[in-house]
Amino acid sequence: MFGASRQVPPQPRAAAVSFPIAKSAAGIAMISGVVNVLALTSPLFMLQVYDRVLASGSVPTLIGLAVLAAGLYGFQAVLDALRGRVLLRIGERFDGDFSGRVFDAVLRVPLLTRVKGDGLQPLRDLDNVRGFLGGNGPTAFFDLPWMPLYLAICFLFHFWIGVTALVGAVLLIGMTLLTNALSQAAIRDVIARNMTRNTLMEAGRRNAEVVRAMGLHAQMAGRWQTANGAYLDANRKAGDVAGGLGSLSKTMRMMLQSTILGVGAYLVIRQEVTAGVMIASSIMMGRALAPVDIAISSWRPFLMARQSWSRLKDLLGSVPHDERFLALPDPEKELRVEALAVVPPGQKAPNLAGVGFSVSAGNALGVIGPSGSGKSTFARALVGVWQPASGKVRIDGASLDQWDRQMLGRHIGYLPQGVELFDGTIAENIARFEPDADPAAIVSAARIAGAHELILRFENGYETQIGESGSALSAGQRQRVGLARALYGNPFLVVMDEPNANLDAAGEAAVVKAISAVRERGGIVVVIAHRPSAIDAVDLVLMLENGRQKAFGQRDEVLSRVLKPAAATASETRGFPASATGLTPLRVIAEAASKQAGAQETKLKEAPDGTH
């Protein structure tokens, strides 16, 4: 049916995302090297005490060794604390480098594809990586490369001491690999289960009124408890794997230290090594295996951080930075749509195709059509929320993708079908949270929207806190404030999707007045309407049917050619006299027109350029 228009929106080319702390790793590695060399203080001090001090009975030698060891211990403590502080700041730097892009991705991904869960998993992934980088886990990985040094010293003490230490290291490394193999799937399952339960909780919170009013608490609680039980089960399994292997590794490390002490004692009895070597090798063995022990105990957060970083890379690679564009002049001429086709996020086939027309400054366009004809999709494409699969939306000749989004937003006012306001004051919402917004511009937008008197009736007026999603306001009040927000700053293009859906007669009059005000100052208004009152204020009409453009032109001409015969049929079948059709909702009229389209000779054929 759609021919060449059946295509998915072009996806941005994946951008390479590199780990930002790679350069810092060299500095951490240097500090870790010094710390690990200083860690030799304890075994060497014990070696000297047993073999030199006890043999000679020299108190000054003991005091000198103690003072030297104390200084080295202090230096080691300072460097160890410094390493921890640096790692903590590396985690903060990671957050600083990526938090902005993650926020941008969380907002943009729902416009590109369907999102699993509550959409906040990227933020949790960011926290997982930052938390791991700022913890003790990375120190184990910086200490592991120094294990061969300790093993080499053990071999210098005696061959069999070295062999014992080597066998212990191999066993613990094998334990680490086993932990990795057994934990990866369990960690992935934990994250997936957590996403599911968070999604159910967020859905219940958003629909708290419906849950309360319709007695759905038990059903919603049951669903969440089931999801939470699955999460706890997965978390228990992952914890059993990590905790069990961690405890086993600790026990094995203590056994190995005792083993090497026993081997040393045997060699002392055979007079192959001294007592100092026996004690020093035991301490050396513990130091050599400590990083492996820490790595095993930190393996779960490490796996979570690694999987989180993998997801973040994929996400940020598919949602690159917005490109910078040359600032274009303020629009003042026209809106042009060229062979527009739109594929909603997560779908493969377009539900809007072949739409083309132009509207000059000072005009208003009414968009009508039966339910499911693509009107809201069309509105989203006009303001750049959904990217066209083909075709262009142009403002003064420049397509929307040629504009800087921040600059373009100042020239667009958008009132969606479901008005969402942000937690803050009414004034902040109208001003689009613009810093140092002009109070006169806020009041002006509210007056044009017919909301000024309504706002003043609140106890705190424009400074009234509206709560999350505007919960302190009624649906009609939110619509009026949302309209004022759309009109703030006198944008060139104002798109309203059913602006009078929740309004009374006074509210509808305010919408008509707002449309006239935008036209008088040379702007363009596009109104998605199901009620005749909004259409009365426009001079052009676009009719959509089954995702295609059926008619476009002057309002009276289009309505007379397309809607009147269908309106008469709709009126008769519903018991209305033909004279009452002016009061029939446009949705009914449009749906009747769609049914009668085959019998009418007013159906237009699509022009080669997509216009009618």
Instruction: Let me know whether 118 and 148 are in one domain.
Output: yes
Domain count, the chain: 3
Percent of the chain with pLDDT over 90: 16
Helix and strand element counts for the chain (H, E): 23, 10
- Across the chain, what does the average pLDDT equal? 80
Give the integer Cα–Cα distance in Å for 404 and 382: 15
Instruction: Let me know whether 139 and 66 are in one domain.
Output: yes
pLDDT at 592 over 60: no
pLDDT of residue 85: 87
pLDDT-derived band of residue 358, with 50, 70 and 90 as boundaries? Answer: very high
Of residues 608 and 160, which shows the higher confidence score? 160
Give the integer Cα–Cα distance in Å for 13 and 405: 19
Instruction: Let me know whether 80 and 133 are in one domain.
Output: yes
pLDDT of residue 130: 87
Query: Does 231 fall in a domain?
Result: yes
Of residues 445 and 404, which shows the higher confidence score? 445
pLDDT at 564 over 60: no
pLDDT at 236 over 80: yes
pLDDT at 48 over 80: yes
pLDDT of residue 565: 54
Last residue of a domain, one of 490, 506, 534: 490
Sequence-distant (6+) residues with CB within 8 A of 190 are 231, 234, 235, 238
pLDDT-derived band of residue 533, with 50, 70 and 90 as boundaries? Answer: low
pLDDT-derived band of residue 323, with 50, 70 and 90 as boundaries? Answer: low
Query: Does 2 fall in a domain?
Result: no
pLDDT of residue 575: 40
pLDDT at 124 over 90: no
Choose the weakest-confidence range: 199-213, 335-349, 416-430: 199-213
Choose the weakest-confidence range: 77-86, 168-177, 595-604: 595-604
Of residues 568 and 103, which shows the higher confidence score? 103
Query: Does 15 fall in a domain?
Result: no
pLDDT at 15 over 70: no
Of residues 40 and 136, which shows the higher confidence score? 40
State the amino acid at position 294 in one-letter form: I
pLDDT, average across residues 421-426: 88
pLDDT at 321 over 70: no
pLDDT of residue 572: 44
Of residues 99 and 212, which shows the higher confidence score? 99
User: Are the beta carbons of 389 and 5 closer than 8 angstroms?
Assistant: yes
pLDDT of residue 413: 92
User: Which pTM does this prediction carry?
Assistant: 0.68
Task: Summarize pLDDT for 363-378 with one digit per residue, the tens.
Answer: 999 998 888 888 888 9
Q: Looking at residue 444, which CATH number applies to its domain?
A: 3.40.50.300
Instruction: Let me know whether 575 and 558 are in one domain.
Output: yes
Instruction: Let me know whether 568 and 548 are in one domain.
Output: yes
Query: Does 212 fall in a domain?
Result: yes
User: Are the beta carbons of 458 and 406 closer than 8 angstroms?
Assistant: no
Percent of the chain with pLDDT over 70: 84
pLDDT, average across residues 519-547: 85
Instruction: Let me know whether 580 and 501 are in one domain.
Output: yes
CB-CB neighbours of 373 under 10 Å? 25
pLDDT of residue 252: 81
pLDDT, average across residues 502-506: 75
Sequence-distant (6+) residues with CB within 8 A of 240 are none
pLDDT at 611 over 70: no
Give the integer Cα–Cα distance in Å for 456 and 442: 13
Of residues 604 and 147, which shows the higher confidence score? 147
Query: Does 193 fall in a domain?
Result: yes
Instruction: Let me know whether 262 and 274 are in one domain.
Output: yes
Query: Does 124 fall in a domain?
Result: yes
pLDDT at 56 over 70: yes
Query: Does 278 fall in a domain?
Result: yes
Instruction: Let me know whether 484 and 519 are in one domain.
Output: no
Instruction: Let me know whether 449 and 344 are in one domain.
Output: no
Of residues 119 and 463, which shows the higher confidence score? 463
Instruction: Let me know whether 496 and 480 are in one domain.
Output: no
pLDDT-derived band of residue 138, with 50, 70 and 90 as boundaries? Answer: confident
Instruction: Let me know whether 497 and 480 are in one domain.
Output: no
Q: What are phi and psi of 527, to 5 degrees?
A: -120, 120
Instruction: Let me know whether 495 and 588 are in one domain.
Output: yes
Query: Does 7 fall in a domain?
Result: no
Token pair of 261, please?
């002490």
User: Are the beta carbons of 533 and 508 closer than 8 angstroms?
Assistant: yes
Q: Looking at residue 231, which CATH number applies to its domain?
A: 1.20.1560.10
Choose the weakest-confidence range: 264-278, 427-441, 597-611: 597-611
Across 14-18, 19-23, 27-31, 34-38, which has the greatest mean pLDDT? 34-38
Q: What are phi and psi of 334, to 5 degrees?
A: -155, 165
pLDDT-derived band of residue 414, with 50, 70 and 90 as boundaries? Answer: very high
Last residue of a domain, one of 458, 474, 490: 490
State the amino acid at position 387 in one-letter form: Q
DSSP 418: S
pLDDT at 597 over 70: no
Last residue of a domain, one of 469, 490, 511: 490
Which range of residues forms the domain containing residue 452? Answer: 419-490
pLDDT at 451 over 80: yes
pLDDT of residue 604: 36
Task: Summarize pLDDT for 469-500 with one digit per residue, the tens.
Answer: 666 788 888 888 999 999 999 999 999 988 87
pLDDT at 107 over 70: yes
Q: What is the 3-state secondary structure (H, E, C) of 33-75?
A: HHHHHHCCHHHHHHHHHHHHHHHHCCHHHHHHHHHHHHHHHHH
